[in-house]
Amino acid sequence: MTANTQTATRNQAEVGYETSKFALGTGMAMSALVGLWGTACLVSALVSVGPLNVVKGYITAVLG
């Protein structure tokens, strides 16, 4: 004679961990987009006015 047994499993998600994981992923994606945009702007400036004028403009902006 065999006996049937039933087991119930219950998975409980930690809301704080999941929210933190989502926020970290979103922050990483946004920072990657900002980095790509900054690189595109720098390349555009280098092509547009040349590397020496970019350096001159940077020094002027920092020193006033």
pLDDT digits (tens, 9 = 90+) for 20-55: 999 999 999 999 999 999 999 999 999 999 999 999
Q: Are 54 and 46 in contact (CB under 8 A)?
A: yes
Number of helices and strands in the chain (H, E): 2, 0
Q: Is the pLDDT of residue 1 over 70?
A: no
Q: How confident is the model at residue 64 (pLDDT cuts 50, 70, 90)?
A: confident
Q: Residue 10's pLDDT band (boundaries 50, 70, 90)?
A: confident
CB 42 within 8 A of CB 51: no
Statement: the pTM of the whole predicted model exceeds 0.85: no
